[in-house]
Amino acid sequence: MTIAVVGAGALGLYYGALLQRAGSNVRFLLRRDYEAIAAHGLQVYSTGGDFHLPTVSGARTPEEIGPVDLVLVGLKTFANDRFAELITPLLHGTTVILTLQNGLGNEEALAELFGADRVMGGVAYLCANRGEPGCVRHLGKGRVLLGEYGSSDTTRPERIAELFRAAGIDCRAVNDLSRARWEKLVWNIPFNGLSALTRCPVDRLLATEEGRTLVREIMLEVIAAANAQQLSRPIPDTYADDMLRFSASMGPYRPSMLIDREEGRPLELASIFDRPIERGRQRGVPMPRTAMLATCLHLMTGQAPQDA
Amino acid sequence: MTIAVVGAGALGLYYGALLQRAGSNVRFLLRRDYEAIAAHGLQVYSTGGDFHLPTVSGARTPEEIGPVDLVLVGLKTFANDRFAELITPLLHGTTVILTLQNGLGNEEALAELFGADRVMGGVAYLCANRGEPGCVRHLGKGRVLLGEYGSSDTTRPERIAELFRAAGIDCRAVNDLSRARWEKLVWNIPFNGLSALTRCPVDRLLATEEGRTLVREIMLEVIAAANAQQLSRPIPDTYADDMLRFSASMGPYRPSMLIDREEGRPLELASIFDRPIERGRQRGVPMPRTAMLATCLHLMTGQAPQDA
């Protein structure tokens, strides 16, 4: 199977490397890491075992890659306006596009451009970051939930999940992609937002009673909005407590939005904040703390709120 | 009249300079500006006319100043734990202590140390900042509202107000100091808090509909908490709109808490956030947005919330 990785940040490099190691023909669309990878290949430091890929197919343009069977989209969502330019050259008649991006609206944007039947979505729980050029550091976890977006072929998620599992990735297919996305938002909205706003890693957000209380209140707003979206089954409020317990073990983990801020990138506000808030509003679920957090992030960054 | 200025930031330097120019014997407790002022006096740049005081009585310790008739307290409130050390040497039997500091709890702390009957409070609406050492810049406004805290001498605020007016300061005595303090908090809580958190000056906070809405919602929370404090008359909700209109004319004004953050000082969170929130809570008035803003500021600074 030929696979193109578009958006070769930590997530794209790590999963792409695992898929190549397992035998797939993987081609990476690169920018920052192009020269280092061309010269030295790709080095993966992982809690599951380090490895090195001496020969990696990197390209600077999608035209150099050409049509593939599967496009893995790991772009930061603030770059979604480049979908047409970056993905069109990668498509043949039956290419599947799998977005592993954060938040809401990514499948919809891909479907509008390329047709819904090509599009799948996935939710990645991955602690990884890019190291020096040519390296990626996997700090733990790595579960992926895959779901169908627009095809009536209900076996497709399971086939792709099997490909991922064969590469050593903890992966399973789910029948309700929307629910999986909202579940991840229960974590992403408070932790990404508050860490980017206050520059606190996860342990400092949870070090005080008032910090824990605020995180939990925001989680409950997200759960309430999620449960108004006709999910296959509701997310229980106890999920907030499960996530808090899980997060307490993460130590000084820096959520991706904090890293984006520290490295001077735009923040993924449209997909992680604006669209979820708008979906809640459409169903009559107010999210006052989430909305205040979004407003503060808009003010801090100068990024305007996006229409959903 | 002999006056000591303790906390010679922009406010202390500016009002002290005006009082000296009008004939009072003013002594400044200085730190950063000591050498510049000893060498060159004090330069005031003001929208009301620049002036220079060639000879200014500056001291590095309160013992050098000794007992005075009036102590003007302009310290940042995070330094209130230094009251005993800084003010005790300035007192004779009838010395009046007037705090022009921000927020709640300052009169109480002074009364506990020095006796309530000495203590008066004032609320200053002043746009000023320190320039290079030995200079202060007055950018406009400068109204002071003075009120009695602990004395039964109801004529005292008017006498001090007359002293200020004779120095060219727009000043009047009020019979409800608590109400004046809460009125100022209606401005201080949203603008100081949001500007310090997001690094936006006033005009950027008000540049978007969502920013204006958030500021107004926080103002209404403060008004509700204020009106639960047995004020002489309630603060109407329309006061929020008056303040928004007034603030829209301030341009890129940087509230003091933003300047404190940019200059690496602690923030005045206990007096401007923690105590007002606690006073609201005691009277059954929840302030959810104000409390969330306070939590974000505690997280950002690592300053713990203070007991009220």
**pLDDT exceeding 70 applies to what percent of chain A?**
99
Among candidate residues B118, B138, B179, B184, the one labeled active-site is B184
Per CB-CB distance under 8 Å, the chain B contacts of A199 are 300
pLDDT at B141: 74
The per-residue pLDDT of chain A, averaged, comes to 96
Of A194, A292, A304, the CB nearest to B289: A292
pLDDT at B306: 82
Question: In this model, does residue A152 exceed pLDDT 90?
Answer: no
Confidence band (pLDDT; 50, 70, 90) for A7? very high
Chain B residue set in contact with A, beta carbons under 8 Å: 194, 197-200, 204-205, 208, 210-211, 213-214, 288-289, 291-296, 298-300, 302, 304-305
**What would the mean pLDDT of B20-47 be, rounded to a whole number?**
96
Find the residue in B nearest to A202 (Cα).
B299
**pLDDT exceeding 70 applies to what percent of chain B?**
99
ipTM of the predicted structure?
Answer: 0.93
Of B197, B210, B292, the CB nearest to A214: B292
Per CB-CB distance under 8 Å, the chain A contacts of B208 are 298-299, 304-305
Beta-carbon separation of B298 and A210 below 8 A = yes
**pLDDT exceeding 90 applies to what percent of chain B?**
92
pLDDT in tens, B276-295: 999 999 999 999 999 999 99
pLDDT at B235: 98
Beta-carbon separation of B300 and A200 below 8 A = yes
Domain boundaries, chain A: 2-175, 178-301
Beta-carbon separation of B198 and A292 below 8 A = no
pLDDT in tens, A226-242: 999 999 999 999 999 99
| Count of alpha carbons within 13 angstroms of residue B163, beta-carbon side | 22
Per CB-CB distance under 8 Å, the chain B contacts of A213 are 295
Find the residue in B nearest to A196 (Cα).
B300
The per-residue pLDDT of chain B, averaged, comes to 96
Among candidate residues A118, A137, A156, A184, the one labeled active-site is A184
Of A199, A200, A296, the CB nearest to B198: A296
Beta-carbon separation of A204 and B299 below 8 A = yes
pLDDT at A8: 85
pLDDT at A203: 98
Per CB-CB distance under 8 Å, the chain A contacts of B288 are 288-289
**A178-301 is a CATH 3.30.200.20 domain:** no
Find the residue in A nearest to B201 (Cα).
A299
**What would the mean pLDDT of B201-212 be, rounded to a whole number?**
97
**What would the mean pLDDT of B180-185 be, rounded to a whole number?**
98
Find the residue in A nearest to B198 (Cα).
A300
pLDDT at A306: 82
Superfamily of domain A2-175 in CATH is NAD(P)-binding Rossmann-like Domain (3.40.50.720)
Question: In this model, does residue B307 exceed pLDDT 70?
Answer: no
pLDDT at B79: 95
Beta-carbon separation of A296 and B199 below 8 A = no
Chain A residue set in contact with B, beta carbons under 8 Å: 194, 197-200, 204-205, 208, 210-211, 213-214, 288-289, 291-293, 295-296, 298-300, 302, 304-305
Give chain A's length.
308
Beta-carbon separation of B300 and A194 below 8 A = no
Q: Catalytic annotation on A184?
A: yes
pLDDT at A147: 97
Question: In this model, does residue B184 exceed pLDDT 80?
Answer: yes
pLDDT in tens, B81-109: 999 999 999 999 999 999 999 999 999 99
Confidence band (pLDDT; 50, 70, 90) for A307? low
**What would the mean pLDDT of A241-269 be, rounded to a whole number?**
95
Rounded Cα gap, residues B35 and B246, in angstroms: 38
Find the residue in A nearest to B299 (Cα).
A198
